[in-house]
Amino acid sequence: MNPSQVEQLIQKLLQEIDPQPQREGLVDTPHRVAESYAKLFSGYSIDPSSLLTFFDSEHYDEMITCREIDFYSTCEHHLLPFYGKAHIGYIPSDKIIGLSKLPRVVEVFARRLQNQERLTSDITIFLDQALGAKGIGVVLEATHLCMQARGVEKQNTIVTTSSFRGLFKNNMNTRNEFLSICLNR
């Protein structure tokens, strides 16, 4: 992403939206938006594989979960934010991942133009391939500003998506254990 190009485009956009695009409150807006977009879309410049560290599973074969992972993303349909919590679980086969790596993986994929369904799948597919685990489960719960500030204008709507592989998909007891751990508060 070229910040100066983004600034020029935002300046043009402001000229279309506001009859006084040179007023004090808007003068530095193109620069601020370019800096904001650099963070919001930083996931494109990061290879999630580079974040991973693995350890021998030490024969640990029970479910590992990481829940309540905050994330912020941008809806590709309206360029408005959606945000929420991600919950991830897996059953290792021969290796485990460093615990901080699960939130980092969520961050990389969330910091791209997304829809919630693809974000859920991206995280699941990546972790499934990286871990070779016996099973993976990912659940995302999110609030979408495109549903709050425009369109249906419902303020308290939460969208939940899920994706499962291996034992989480094929064994209802495993899936239910994961969902019980992650969604019971």
Is residue 146 part of the annotated active site? The answer reads yes
Dist. CA 73–CA 141, nearest whole Å = 12
- 75 catalytic per annotation: yes
The residue among 160, 182, 183 whose CA lies nearest residue 89 is 182
Catalytic residue among 116, 141, 177, 182: 116
Q: Which of 75, 107, 114, 182 is catalytic?
A: 75
Q: Measured on CA atoms in the order 124, 126, 131, 132, is the torsion positive or negative?
A: positive
Active-site annotation holder among 8, 20, 77, 117? 77
Task: Verify whether residue 77 is a known catalytic residue.
Answer: yes
DSSP assignment letter at 152:
T
Query: Which one from 5, 8, 22, 76 is the annotated catalytic residue?
Result: 76
DSSP 37: H
- The catalytic residue among 66, 114, 144, 182 is 144
Which token pair is 19?
Answer: 């009859």
Nearest to 149 by CA among 78, 83, 73: 78
Nearest to 69 by CA among 107, 40, 43: 107
Q: Is 66 one of the annotated active-site residues of the chain?
A: no
Angle at which helices 116-131 and 101-110 pack, to 10 degrees?
140
Known active-site residue 31? no
Q: Which tokens in the block code for residue 59?
A: 């024969």
Radius of gyration of the chain (CA): 19
Active-site positions?
Answer: 75-78, 116, 144, 146
